[in-house]
Structure formats: structure tokens, C-alpha cells
Structure 1
Amino acid sequence: MSAPATVGTFSALREQLTDAATAFADGPDALAGILAGMVDDVDRALGERLEIFPVCHHSPASALAMVRRLRRKQPRVIYLELCEDLQPLLGELRNCRLPVAVQAFASQLDGFPAAWGPLSVIAPVTEASAEYQAIAYALETPGVELVLVDRSTDHVFQWSPRDEAPSPGEPASGESGADAGEQAALHGDAVGVEIGDLRPRFAELEAHLLHHGKVRHWSEWWDQYVERPLTVADHDTYRQVMVLIGSLFRRLRPAGSVRTDRDEDRERYMWTRIRQHLAASGAAPEDCLYVCGAFHAASRVEQFGLDSTAPNFDISPRTATRWRYGLIPSSHSAIEAQFGLAPGSVSIAAATWTKAVSGSGLTPYRLDGQRGGTPRGRRGRVEPETVPAEAVSDRLVGFLAAPPALDGLDEAELRRWCVDIVRLARRNGYLASTADAIAVFETSILLAGLRNRARPTPYDFADAAVTCIEKDVAPGRRDVRRLCEILLGGDRIGQVGYDALPPLARDVLDRLQPLGLDLEKRTVQRALLDLHGKPELAGCADLLWMLRHVLPPGAVRPIMGERRLGHRSIQESWDLALGRHQRALIELGYEGVTVEQVLEQRLRRAAHGPGATAAGALAAVEDAIRLLDSPRLVDELGARAVELLAAERTVDDAPRVLRRIRRLLAHHQATAPTLPAWCAAFVTTGYAHYCTLLPTAFVEEETGVRQVGAMLGFLFSLESLALSLGCDRSQLELAVGQSHPQAPAKVALLWAARHQLGLLPLTGLRAQCRELLANPLVVPAFPQYLSGFVHALEPVPGLAPFVVETMSTAFARLPDPVLLPWLPNLVTTLRQHGAEAVPLLVREAGRTFPGTLSALDSWVPPWQGTASTATPRRVGGAAGQQVHALLAGHPEPVDAVAELLGVGDGWRGPRGGAAALVEAHPSTAEAVAVLLSGR
């Protein structure tokens, strides 16, 4: 164990820095104070009775120093800077393949703004990290206690400003390729918490370091000037340099910011927890080790140190939010994206860790059962070495003044990289050759020289490879920078083992076992289900349809088969990628024990949430029938849909309501002996509701034509059912009578509604359209009337012949300046509502227009002979005699029709019989005459 540093240990270094600052700034000033304060921070941290071990996240140098220190010191208690409520999960790391992330998740918030939900905090763990080495040592060494001392996940959000949502992290710059982007999304929008966030919080300082270091990203600067030199440094030098850097960044950060206050509160929190544990356990400080970020090791809060007399920090109680904990898969790309690291930096760190471990002869610690790691190290105790106090300062001064040592194997390593990248590029479609390998080798050395580096780094090699090989970029091809990341270590993706999964995830894997697939693989697998030949697979099919509803797109994707109301496929085919979407499956387990429970909860939230609508509730009803087959839940959601419909004051969702209630009514009428009570209530409530809102909807400009058409569609298509359930038709007639629209499209809708009610005959509609076309002031607006008639096909599908007739007349009579600008709007309208309108128009046009080109010359539009004249026409000749004979020869049906219409015997007239009827209805008689004559 090194001797504790005294106050005067770093006096020589302090004097050197002060003299340099004085010479640089022409006198002692703030710069001298900063440099001298940095030495004081180092002196203070190293002089603390509780040994402080400063680290940087995902740093191989920190991990190596941690392994060395643990083997020499063999501490009995390790205090670790990590959220204290995550401690029970650390033992589950044994069942995982690193990297993984420890997660806290909350979907139902109590004490936080609702807009923040769901809340998620993750802490990634990689093998090349000091925290993992400390965790593995503590959990695998008998008698060692691991204590997490950082704020809880609840306090992470308690300390966030209420006026802005917590940020998930800084996005990574320069993501390379679709593969990296997909893996970068493994953490989702979780807030990242990591031990040892060591990065300048003064933008100008970071820009200055990057500029003079001739690097593009902070990760590259750290690897070049700190990481590699510290890999071979001894323990004391490592601690001093890390605290010195942490002190520099701490003293050059903006003062008074919210982040500064939060950092200091975290330090007060951690020292308070350390004091409380030491007081409760009675552990000796010399047997303990405090692992924290180098930034926090240079803390100057009043609670710093065991000898501080400042009172403990007042820790606020946690909120009533219920947190759920688990492990989710992580990846190098996800860590880089979460914490703003350069693409490939974590992969390079992993490669550096492997190389350093093999070169140093150290055996790192590893949890028993850990998949994908190196063998666990020995537990034998190594006697600590004693370092004289006067040598501590000499080591720091010597390290800071000495140039980095060169590695003689770098040239061979670079040559191997160049050969391998050419081979990998050729496999991915690049026309690379041996000449390119030589060019990459020479360019790497050239770039390193231009950047004042003694030897090329992986970043220099990647830049050289992109320059020499990536001469063109083809769509769908991996770029060369991504190939370099794969070569230097790859985007290693972690996996959570079966035993560490939540109950829901294990239940899903168990229930899908009959498929015979290894669903933990990250590849997409095809599942074929013959439900007719193997009825036992029906349970798997039901589960897959539920998973498709609750998991993100791509996790389970149906290739063949469908699940709709009243229909079940006998054969299905699925693409399954549950291993690739393991995080989503794990977070699903935070919501319930089974998929059925989670789906039921989500359907209830959709129907009872603050933004619930009647259309959304009907969609939940449909999903409950298709996926759960739960009559109780269907009745509950249906009753909620009735409540929501009655409470709505707008008709924006009327098209969705109409489409879904029609489908649900057809399903229940075909499968149930009686209509459910909620369906009857929805029809009667909707009939009265839309009748009440109809006059206002016709007038309001905010209400579109499609919405009004859907309202009329509900009223007319469900009218017979509504009347049988007790509704009054006069309410609809009054609503139509009170409607006075001004917009041309809505006027056309009103005419269609009046026609459906029998208030406006077809001849009246034709007369209205003729008047519009005859008025030159109205002709420019005539296409809007036509759009209204197209929308009228929803409530009045019987108008299809008239719409075809009106459109044909419009194409024949409208001038080109009016017709041509309207055609795009017509096409757009038919495309939006093609499912309802186009089939009707096409069928009617097929019946109306001739089927051959030769018949077109002699074709006469049928509506040209049906226009009513001002004076009655008499039907004479043989055809007229046939009509008279037909009516006179069958008086009984004619009398029955007359009695039904309330005419009685008055139809016979003074002339009596058929003659009077023919004179009273000349158009009808003429049409019958045409049919009888065969014209």
C-alpha cells in the first residue's frame, strides 16, 4: 500500500506550475491559482484516509489499474459510484453476455410530470471497465461487501428541472451505416448513468484540446494523450494523473449552472452514504476502497473526507413512483450514442483491453457463469508494496515530463490491420488490392506524423482506410469506417441470459418452444405454422399476434396469414427477431407477468386515458375480440366507447367511428344470437348524438366534408337498426331541415340527404345541377359540388348512377379552365376515399357506358331521355296502348299500391282507369312504354 501523501508532498510540483503560470501570464493571477489549486486537489484526494480510486468510464487503463489494485490491496468493502437501488441486480450479470445495461424503468408516475413518462435509467457495463472488475471481485470473493453509494434512480429525476424533460444523452456524431444506427437504438430514450464521466464541461477548452491535438473527437484525444500512457503507469501515478485531470476539468467548468449544483449534490450524497455505512458496519477505512469518477475525486464539497465535521447531506425521500428493475442488452454503438463518444471508440477500447491484458500478464476478474468473457482470475492475496512518500511527487513530475514510450510491435500490428481491411473490403464489394493495403499503411504513418504522433492510432488507420479504399459509395453497402470498427473489435452486442429475464420474457420463450427455434439468437428466423395439421400450434399463433400488437415493428412480422374479426388462418408464416428486440421484450415484462395481462392493461389505458376517443375505444374493442376473446373486457370497453361518444363535442373521428362500428356490428350479427347491450346503446346514442351535431357540422368551416358525410353515413346506414331500438326518425328530419350550409360541397351533401329522406326527388337533383351549369357565376364552383356528391356515396350509395351522370355532364360541359384545375382534386379525393367511392362508381360506369368502342358512336346517354319537361307528355301509339292494357288488366296490384300510398280510388280520375294514371305520371309511363316496346 502506498504511503498517504502529506500536505508538502507536491510542493515541488506546485512551485513549478506557479512559476510557469507567472512566466506565461506575466505575473501571478487566475491561471496560477488554477494550476496551484489542481495540485491542492491532488494532495487532498491522495491524503484522504479512505482510499479514493478515480476512474473514467469504459477505460482499459482504469480497468487495468483496478485489477492491479484489487490484487494488492484486497479491500473488504468497495464503495461504488452507481445508483444505490440497482445493487440487487448486479448478481444477475452472471447470466449475461456483456455488454449489458442495468435498467430502472417506471411507466406509472407519481410525483413526476406525466409528460416525462415512461422513465428509464440505464447503466451500461462492459468487461473493459473498472466498475465491472470491482463488481466481479466483490461478488466472487467471500467476505467482500459491495455498496453502491450514488443517488437512486428516483433522485435522478427528482433533481431534473421540472420545466424540461430529462435528456437521454448526447447523440453520437458521424454514425456509420444502418447497422450501427440500429444497434445505437438499443438504449432507446433512457437516461444514461455511468461511473467516471470525464470530459471537459467548458466548450472552449475541449475545442482547444481537439485543435492542438489534431483530432476530431474527444474520445480520440483521450485515447492518444491519456489512455495509452496510463495503461503502463503504476498505481500512484495513475491516481495522481486522473485526479489532476478531474481537477482541471472541474476548475474550468462554468460556475453556477444547474449541472454544477447537481454534481456537488451527488458528491454530498455519496459521502453521506459512505459515512452512514461505516458507522453502521464498523468497517475500518483502511480496508475500504471508494471507486468514483476522477471528476468527483477532486471534489471540494464540505462533506468530502471522513474527517470532515460538516453535517450529512439531507437526502429527500423517494417519490411514490413504482420502479421496476432488470437487465437489457447493450452494445458498443449504443454506449457511444448514449454518451456522445466517437463511433468505434468503445470497440477500440475493447481491443486495447484485450491487448493490454495479454501483454501485462494480468488475469482480470470475471463473474462465475459469465458468457463471452475471459477466465476468472485467482483469488490469492498479494502482499502490498510500500512506496515512500517522497517518491510520490517524483513519479507524477516524471510522468508529466516524459514522452510516451514507443511500442515496437506497432508496425507489425499496423501491417496486419492493412491486410485485414483490404480482405474485408473485398468481401463487401470494394475493388481493393494489395496496392491499397500499401497505401493505407503509408497514409496511416503520414497522418500520424501530421498530427504530431509517434505512431499511428486506430483513428489514423481508419481515416487512411477511408481515404484509400472508399472511392465510391454504393447504396446498401457498408462504408469503410464501419468495416474498420468491425476489424478493430466489432460492435459487440450483449445478451441477457434466460435466468436473468423477467417472468414475462421467460413465459414467452417457453410458450414458443413448440416452434423449434432458438429465439435467443439475433438473426431473423422463419416460423411456419400449419394450424390445420398441427392444432397444438394454435397457442403459438395466438401469442404471436399478441406480441405483434405490443412489441415494436420488426420483432414479430407476419408473412402469411391474418387475424381479423371472425377469421382465423389455417396456415401462417412469421419472421421472428425476438433476440434482436430483447430490450423491448424485457421492458414489456416490467408491465405485467403475462402478455395477456399487458395487452389487457394497454387496451384499458387506450380507452380510459386522458386522450381517449370513441374511435380509439372501438379499436380497443376490436383488438380485444381478435386477440384476447374476452367477452367481459369487450363489454367493458364497449360501454366506455358509448360514454366517450356521448361526451364528444367534435366529429373529427366520425369516419373512423363509422368504419369500426359497421365492422363490429357485422361481426356480432354473424356470430351472436342477440346484439350486445353496448352495441345497441352505441347505435342509439350515436343516432341522437349525430342528429344533434348535424346542423352545426354543416355550417362550421372546421368540420370537413368527409366528416359530415360520415355522420350522414352513420345515420342512414344504421337507421333501420336505430329505429328498431326506439329512435325517432323525425329527429333526423328536423336535423336535416335545420341545416343550412354555405360551402358548395356541403350543399351537395345536404341535397343527397334530402333525397335519401324522400324530400328531394331525383328529378329535383337533376334540375338543381342544370341550374348550376346554366349560371356562369356558379360554374367555377361546380367541381366542389361534384366533390360533395362523391362524398355523398358514403351515406347514399344509391346515388351512384346520378354521380356518374353528373360527372359525365361536367366533363362534357365545363370549360377547360375550370375542368383541368379540378382534375387533380378529383383524383386526390378518389384516392383518399377510394375504398368506399371508387368501386361504386366503377360498377355503375360499367353498367352505363358501352363495353366496346364500336358501340360508342351510336350510344345515347340514358339520362338524356329522362329529363322531365314543363308540361306532361302523352304516351300514345302501340306502346301507350300496351301500358293502358297492362294497368287495366291488373287492377288489383294497382289498387294495392294506390292504397299503400294513401291515394285510394282517386287515382282512377274522371277519365277512369289507366288513362288518368298515365296522364298523371307521364315520365314513368314513357319509361314503361320504352321497356315494352323494346326500344
Structure 2
Amino acid sequence: MSPFDPLREQLAGAAAAFGTGLVDDVEQALKAELEIFPVCHHSPASALAMARRLREKQPKVIYLELCEDLRPVLDELRNCRLPVALQAFATDIEGFPPEWAPLSVIAPITESSAEYQAIAYALDTPGVEIVLVDRSVDHVFQWEPRERGEAVGVEIGDLRPRFAELEEHLLHHGKVRHWSEWWDQYVEQPLVGADYDTYRQVMVLIGSLFRRLRPQGNEMDEDRERYMWTRMREHLAATGADPDTCLYVCGAFHAASPVMGEHLDITPRTATRWLYGLIPSSHSAIEEQFGLAPGSVSIASATWSKAVKRSGVTPYQLGSKSKARALPPPTPLERDDRLSGFLTQPPALDGFDEAELLGWCVDIVRLARRNGYLASTADAIAIYETSILLAGMRNRKRPTPYDFQDAAVTCIEKDVVPGRRDVRRLCEIMLGGDRIGQVGYDSLPPLARDVLDRLEPLGLDLQKRTLSRALMNLDLNPELAPCSDLLWMLRYLLPEGAVKPIMGSRRLGERSIQESWDLWLGKHQRELIELGYEGVTIEQVMEQRLRRAAWDPKATAAVVLGAVEDSILFLGSRRFTDELGARAVELLSAERTVDDAPEVLRRIRRLLAHYRSSGGALPGWCEAFVTAGYAHYCTLLPSAFVDEDTGVRQVGAMLGFLFSMESLAISLGCDRAQLELAVRQSHPEAPAKVALVWAAQFQLGLLTMADLRSRCDDLLNNPLVVPSVPLYITGFVQALEPAPVLTPFVVEVLSGAFGRLPDDVLLPWLPNLITTLRREAPELVPVLVREAGLTYPASLAAVDAWVPPWSAQSAKGTRGRAPVVAGPVTGLLAAHPAPTDAVAALLGCSGEWQTGDTGSGGPGHAEVAALLNAHPEAAGAVAALI
């Protein structure tokens, strides 16, 4: 007796018990109180068997494995072109972790599925009820682990091995590349022509096999099965329906359940408010959602169409005039063993369809030529022969679409892909294509219908999937203005490409006379429908989006100012805008960094200009923002100057806010001494920030222009400091934001550096200067370029005789000061200095009147002179008024 005989007997007993368990599962399913119809989703064999069984039995109640609260959505399938997906959506959640939001459950439906056949039969046959018995979408997330939670794709009848080792074994020995091909070769094709009893037993056997190979982790599946059986028993007890007239449609995995008939205490739903609807889907979306091979759903659709024609079975379709025929009562289901014969005999394979393969070969060559391939008749012959060869190598009597696909790739795609599509994708298009569904108008949510109704004056079919061009002349057709407003909101809310402006813009203070739009709402119908889950109108969704952005925990004052601007552009609600503005004031006062100072300055300037140009008074939140910002930035200014993490761009924006808003802030009660004290307390060490401090001191009157020139001369004369001059210049360029009057001075400093420094000193730091300016001040460099263009001579011949305006010869002793242009305003200031001195005393400014040669002999102030030279139109206008 061998020492391994006990182990051998134990293994043989385990194998026998395993095999017996499979048969027991099949027998248990056949003896259930309800007739169980096992399915695999998107399976032509399941759909064909379902159509046959419905014609024969004509059940009165169909229990379907699908989320029970999706039942009202099924009626809307009449208005759709498949494939579409049932969707449940929730943004405001209660009882779940906040980071899960938004929650979404998606259940796709295709025409080549048993579930669609059951739905179409139930909805179009009088006296038939369809009951969804799976967990509600709320329970789907209740049962999810707390660390998870995202959109869930509900796949009815999922039949796939639950671990990689078994799947790899099946693919290797089946000589196929992926699971979809294995299923088509060894399950779909043999079962397409099988009778119902054989189909039913085989599907339960497969479900039992995969279930027993995965003994761990079935707890949630068993709870789902208890849930469904509990719902079915409750319905039977409430309606008194005869179980013999009912049909239970579920995945084959659940048909072999060991907990069949057990009860489950169902917990109540949470307070989460769920929204339900339909969204378009596509074959490629379903494949990606459930990890199927590319093209497998399209091939299943083509197999379904061919099987329907060959079998003569009339499938059910919603809205079809073909109703269920009255047939004699069905004979009882066979309880005999059909598995033995099916498993021991080779399948009755179809004969080789030469005409079909020839048609495929000709069509793929024609399609390849249209897409840029140099395919010919010789390639069609090669594809034909290669398909037969591959099928023979894989022990197949006839080539499958997968064999044909491999042959086409081998024979046509020799080097590169000339267009957007490779040959494998072309095969998918030829065999069925990526069919994309569409939700009909009557099944759209109110928001989507409202959008289409409001855009109807454009006279376009916006539900088609092709691109439409809308042209609007808003002067000649003012009735189109509401369409323009709606399109701008849709551009904000929908992804890029749904609506695209070709001509026209929408900014504060602008109005487009003519607009041109590319509209692709049909292609982006899903996104439009999902907007309907957020509100009833576009305006409501817009307000919710802006409110959510403004009250987000990570929101900043700059973000909220952007929301304020959007509310003015798109909504025009003063109340809501004021609410957002108050939120911006609150966030600005609470910020402890100045990272967003440039964005804050840019946006508040634009908003102030908009309100001033509109002719009305500034809203209260604007005044509060200016006063709060003035105090806030004065407080943070000394620390920002010395903080290494705060860039010179941010500090320049802070000074820009303080100086440009100074007059308004002082009129609202702010104290200028606070700014002067903040500048005096600032002692930076970084060269760029040092230049900013000098500019701020000059703007406050603490430094004169002569002092600035003297300090810059010291920089250029010190060999140790010359390498850092580009950083000082960067600071001066940033100072143009708070002190634009320094623009001629910055041009002077650059000219002096280029004129005085030798090449061996200038050339090393010139690249650093260019890169620093490009990185730190790209929007201010054009200001310098324009000033230089006004300063330097326009022709090469005039360069030799040109004298810089800041030189001693041109200023006659007033070194570096630009000549003052004589005019009535200059004469008025010189003749009556007392008012100017009084205003200066009120502002706390001290200074002396300087006398120089202004071209007319009168005295002039250097800063005033530079300002008048920079803006002669303003001086002329004042003179005309006087």
C-alpha cells in the first residue's frame, strides 16, 4: 500500500465533491419556486434565449436584477436610441463620507441583452408587471467599504473569473487573447442555437463553477441574493401572484446561490436625495467601464443581428407594433439532464460561410483605403487566406471576427498608421461600429428640454450628433440676445467643444454685435443631461456652481472675485453678486499669505472700472474690499518684504493695490500714515525687493528722483554689486505696477547700464536679465518697450546727434529730469502754488518747488512735469475746461 494513498483518496474525494456540488447547484436552481433565467450581460445567446422563452411562456411578472429605485426610469426607454444607461445621481449626500460626493450609479442597456428583451416585453405587453429587486442605489453605497465610494457601473449577469490565474489558464488553453474572445468562442457560439433547457443548465453550471472557485469574498453577493429573494417574496405576498407565471432574471453567478430563499432584514435608506434619469452610452464606453476587450460589444451586436436573422426569432423592441402572440399554455420545463450530452459531444459548428468572409475582406480593404492605407485587392486575398490559417491554428472550423481582425492587422498595417484610426479600429467599425445611443426629447430632464426650447430661435437641429454653426447679428435680431446669454453660460458649464464661440466675446464692459458659434450639443448630450441633475434651469446650476466655488474650504479671495465677475457676466443678479462680494471681503481679511495678490489686484481693478463706467455708485462690498485690502496689505507688507517665500511679483502687486487704491481708501476713512509706516518698517535684503522699497519711498515722497539716480549710480560703480543689477532692474520693473511714473526712469537705468558697463561685465548678466524679466514681469515689459520707442530716435541717422533727455545738457543742470512742456496747466500751477501746497499738507507730503527751464521760463515740479509729459491729452482737456 502506497504511503500517498490516503492523500490520493482525499484529493479524489475533494474533486468528486466539487463536481457533485456543481451538479447540485444546477439541480437546486431548476427546483426553485420561481423559474430562474440566468443571463450574461450583452450576450446575444442570452438575448436570443430570452426572446424565445418570453414568446413561449408569456409571464405575468418579471423580477429583474437591477436597482429597485430605477424602475420609473424604464418607461423613458421608449424615447431613446440604444445604447443608453440608467443613472442615479446625488450631489448633496447625507449618511456617507463627504469626500464621496457626487455619487453615481450607471447601468448600461444594449439591444443585444436579455434584460432589454425582458423590459421591452413587459412595457409593451398589457397586464405584465416588471419588478426590480436588487438593492437600491442608496444601499449600494451603504454596503461599500467606508474608504471607497465613486461611480458604480451595474453590470447585470457578470460572468467572469474572479481571479487572474483561472482566466490566464482559460485564455492560454483556449488559444485566445482575452476573456471576451474566450466567451464568444466557447459559450456564445455553442449556446446561440441551443434549446432553452440546455441553455439554462449550462449557464447555471458556469455560474456555479466561478462561484465555487472563489469561495472567499462571496459575503456581499450572498447578501445581495438574500435582498432580492426578500423583495420577491414581499411582492408575491402583497399581490398574490402565481409563482408559475413569474420569471426571475438574474446573473448566472446568482442563479447558483446557496442562500436561495433566505430572508434579509433590509435597513432604511439614508436621507440622501437621489436624482434619476437616462444618459447616452456607447459600445466603447461599456467596454471601458467593465474592462471588456475593445470591440467586443460591437462584435456581440453584430452576432446578435446575424443570430436573429438565422433563427427567425422576432425580438422585442419598445414601440414595435409586433406584440406577443397568444400561444397555448407552455409545457412544463424539462428536469432531465441536458448537460451530459452538451458537455460530452462536440458542438454543432456552423459551416464555413465563404461569402461572409469574402465580404469582410472586401469591405475592410475599401475602408482602409478611405483612411489612407495603401491597400489593394492583393491585401483582400491575403486577409482571406490568413483568416482561414489562423482559425485552423486555433482549432476552429470557421474564422471568427477575432481571427479576421488579426489577419487584417497583419496584412494591411505594415508600417505606420496614416490617419487617426488603426486597422483594428477599422475592423470594429466595419463589424458594427461604436454605436452611440441618444435620449429622446421627452425623456430628457427639465433643464435639457429648457435649453433646447430656448435655443429653438436659432433654427438648428441641436439633437443631431453633427456640428452646427449658429450665426447671430444681435443688432439686427435683438430677439436672439437670450440665446447668446444661454450659450455663454453653456460654454462655462459644459466641457470644451460642446459650444464654442468662433466670433464674439463676453467681458466686463463689452458687448458683441455679431457672434458665431459651433454647437455640438448632440454629441455632448450626456453632459447636458447631467446638468439637469444639479438644477431645473441653467441659471440655477450656474448659481450653485459659483456658490460652491466661493464657499469651498480651499477658496481664496481671488477665486471669489472671479466668481463675482462671472455672476455679473452671466446672471446679472445684484443680490447674489453682493453676497459673493461679501464672501470675498471675508476671505481677504482672513488670508495670511499674499500669494494671490497679483490676481486680486487684476480682478478688483477690473470690477471697479466696470462699476465706475456703469454710472452707478460702488456697491458696499467693493468699498469694504478696498478698505479691508488696504489695511490687510499694509499689515503684511513688512513681513512680505523679508519673507523668502514671498516673491517680488507678489510684493509688487501688494504695493500696486495700496497705491492705486489709495485715493479711494482714504476717501473711505483709511489712514495714509499706515502705508507710510509700513514702508518705513520694511527692510528687505533681496535686491529686487530693495528696488521695490526705493520705488515705494519715491512714491510716498520719502526719496527724490535725484536720490534714486544716485543709488543706481552707486550700484553700477560697485563691481561687487554689478552681477546683481538684473535683480534690481526686475524690482524696478515690478515697481511700474504701483508707480507707473517711474517708466522713463527704468528706461534711463537700463540705458545707463548698457552704455557704461563693458562687454565682459554686461554680457554675463544679460541672459539672466532677460529670463528674469520674462519669468517675473511678462506683462510689464511691453510698457518699457513703448517708453523706449518714444524716447529713442526713430532713425539710425538721428542717433549720432541724439542727446538723452535725462542728460545734463538737455536738462541744463536738472540732472535726469525730463523737460517740462509749457502749457496752460503748468502756468496755472506755477502762478498759484498755494492750493497745491495746501493739498500736499493735507496729504502729509513735504517738498519744495523746483525751478528749471521749462521752455517758457516758468517754475515746474519734476513729478508733475513727468506726469503731464506722459499724458498730454488729459492736460489739454483740463485746459479746455478752464
Please report the TM-score for the alignment, with normalisation by the length of structure 2. Answer: 0.90
How is 1:864-883 mapped onto 2 (pairs within 5 angstroms)? 864-865=807-808
Which of 271, 275, 292 is the matching residue for 1:320? 271
Q: Does 1:536 align with 2:473?
A: no
Q: Name the SS of the counterpart of 1:53 in structure 2.
A: strand
Distance 1:588 1:923, change over 3 A: closer
Q: Does 1:223 align with 2:194?
A: no
Q: Does 1:247 align with 2:208?
A: yes
Distance 1:500 1:826, change over 3 A: farther
**Which residue of structure 1 aligns with residue 56 of structure 2?**
72
Which of 403, 420, 429 is the matching residue for 1:477? 420
Shift of 1:850: 2.3
Q: Using the aligned pairs only, state the percent identity.
A: 72
How is 1:523-602 mapped onto 2 (pairs within 5 angstroms)? 523-602=466-545
Q: Aligned partners of 1:908, 1:452: CA distance in 2, in Å?
A: 105
Shift of 1:314: 2.2
**Which residue of structure 2 aligns with residue 262 of structure 1?**
220
Question: Which fold has the larger relative contact order, with Cα–Cα distance below 8 Å and residues 6 or more apart in sequence?
Answer: 1
Which of 34, 43, 48 is the matching residue for 2:27? 43
**Which residue of structure 1 aligns with residue 607 of structure 2?**
664
Which of 415, 437, 441 is the matching residue for 1:498? 441
What is the letter of the counterpart of residue 258 of structure 2? R
How is 1:689-838 mapped onto 2 (pairs within 5 angstroms)? 689-812=632-755, 823=766, 826-831=769-774, 836-838=779-781
Which of 280, 290, 295 is the matching residue for 1:329? 280
Which of 55, 61, 66 is the matching residue for 1:82? 66
Q: Name the SS of the counterpart of 2:12 in structure 1.
A: coil
Moved more, 601-610 or 427-436: 601-610
What is the letter of the counterpart of residue 325 of structure 1? Y
Distance 1:820 1:156, change over 3 A: farther
Moved more, 693-702 or 198-207: 693-702
Q: Name the SS of the counterpart of 1:855 in structure 2.
A: coil
**Which residue of structure 2 aligns with residue 106 of structure 1?**
90
Q: Aligned partners of 1:802, 1:891: CA distance in 2, in Å?
A: 24
Q: Aligned partners of 1:914, 1:410: CA distance in 2, in Å?
A: 104
Contact 2:733 2:781 in 1 (8 A): no
Please report the TM-score for the alignment, with normalisation by the length of structure 1. Answer: 0.85
Q: Aligned partners of 2:474, 2:236: CA distance in 1, in Å?
A: 63
Contact 1:364 1:377 in 2 (8 A): no
**Which residue of structure 1 aligns with residue 113 of structure 2?**
129
What is the letter of the counterpart of residue 204 of structure 1? E
Contact 1:71 1:382 in 2 (8 A): no
Which of 372, 394, 409 is the matching residue for 1:429? 372
Distance 1:914 1:679, change over 3 A: closer
**Which residue of structure 2 aligns with residue 410 of structure 1?**
353
Q: Does 1:379 align with 2:331?
A: no
What is the letter of the counterpart of residue 116 of structure 1? W
Contact 2:634 2:675 in 1 (8 A): yes
Shift of 1:824: 5.2
What is the letter of the counterpart of residue 606 of structure 2? R
Q: Tell me, which stretches of 5 or more residues in structure 1 are unaligned? A: 1-20, 167-189, 370-374, 916-920
Q: Name the SS of the counterpart of 1:454 in structure 2.
A: coil
Contact 1:763 1:867 in 2 (8 A): no
Contact 2:352 2:397 in 1 (8 A): no
**Which residue of structure 2 aligns with residue 297 of structure 1?**
255
Q: Name the SS of the counterpart of 1:335 in structure 2.
A: helix
Q: Name the SS of the counterpart of 1:505 in structure 2.
A: helix
Q: Does 1:275 align with 2:227?
A: no
Q: Does 1:351 align with 2:302?
A: yes
Contact 1:366 1:377 in 2 (8 A): no
Contact 1:507 1:594 in 2 (8 A): yes
Which of 390, 393, 400 is the matching residue for 1:447? 390
Q: Aligned partners of 1:95, 1:73: CA distance in 2, in Å?
A: 28
Contact 1:419 1:437 in 2 (8 A): yes
Q: Aligned partners of 1:775, 1:230: CA distance in 2, in Å?
A: 92
Shift of 1:85: 0.6
Residue-by-residue CA offset, 1:210-239 (whole Å, 9 max, x unaligned): 112122111111011111111011111111
Shift of 1:249: 1.2
Shift of 1:848: 2.2
Q: Aligned partners of 1:368, 1:727: CA distance in 2, in Å?
A: 73
What is the letter of the counterpart of residue 157 of structure 1? F
Distance 1:701 1:429, change over 3 A: same
Moved more, 38-47 or 23-32: 23-32
Shift of 1:25: 9.6
Residue-by-residue CA offset, 1:452-501 (whole Å, 9 max, x unaligned): 22221101111111111122434643211111111101111110000000
**Which residue of structure 2 aligns with residue 232 of structure 1?**
193
Q: Aligned partners of 2:65, 2:173: CA distance in 1, in Å?
A: 33
Distance 1:796 1:407, change over 3 A: same
Which of 292, 295, 316 is the matching residue for 1:365? 316
Shift of 1:873: 10
Q: Does 1:628 align with 2:571?
A: yes
Give the total of aligned pairs: 842
Q: Aligned partners of 2:69, 2:849: CA distance in 1, in Å?
A: 96
Shift of 1:717: 0.6
Distance 1:578 1:895, change over 3 A: closer
Residue-by-residue CA offset, 1:385-406 (whole Å, 9 max, x unaligned): 45654xx32x211111222323
Shift of 1:378: 3.2
Q: Aligned partners of 1:750, 1:689: CA distance in 2, in Å?
A: 18
Shift of 1:755: 1.3
What is the letter of the counterpart of residue 327 of structure 1? L
Q: Name the SS of the counterpart of 1:652 in structure 2.
A: coil
Contact 2:190 2:349 in 1 (8 A): no
How is 1:51-70 mapped onto 2 (pairs within 5 angstroms)? 51-70=35-54
Q: Aligned partners of 1:790, 1:914: CA distance in 2, in Å?
A: 28
**Which residue of structure 2 aligns with residue 144 of structure 1?**
128
Residue-by-residue CA offset, 1:707-747 (whole Å, 9 max, x unaligned): 11111111011111111111110010111111122222222
Contact 2:830 2:860 in 1 (8 A): no
Shift of 1:833: 6.2
Residue-by-residue CA offset, 1:128-161 (whole Å, 9 max, x unaligned): 0000011111111222111111111111212222
Contact 1:787 1:829 in 2 (8 A): yes
Distance 1:679 1:104, change over 3 A: same
Distance 1:201 1:843, change over 3 A: same
Distance 1:490 1:94, change over 3 A: same
What is the letter of the counterpart of residue 450 of structure 1? M
Contact 2:695 2:732 in 1 (8 A): yes
Q: Name the SS of the counterpart of 1:478 in structure 2.
A: coil
Contact 2:372 2:419 in 1 (8 A): no
Q: Aligned partners of 1:895, 1:540: CA distance in 2, in Å?
A: 59
Contact 1:367 1:376 in 2 (8 A): no
Distance 1:495 1:387, change over 3 A: closer
**Which residue of structure 1 aligns with residue 879 of structure 2?**
none
Distance 1:777 1:515, change over 3 A: same
**Which residue of structure 1 aligns with residue 880 of structure 2?**
none
Contact 1:64 1:231 in 2 (8 A): yes
Contact 1:908 1:914 in 2 (8 A): no
Q: Does 1:210 align with 2:171?
A: yes
Q: Name the SS of the counterpart of 1:363 in structure 2.
A: coil
Distance 1:27 1:549, change over 3 A: closer
Distance 1:464 1:810, change over 3 A: farther
What is the letter of the counterpart of residue 357 of structure 2? L
Q: Tell me, which stretches of 5 or more residues in structure 2 are unaligned? A: 842-846, 854-858, 870-882
What is the letter of the counterpart of residue 63 of structure 2? Y
Moved more, 775-784 or 272-281: 775-784
Shift of 1:528: 0.3
What is the letter of the counterpart of residue 721 of structure 1? L
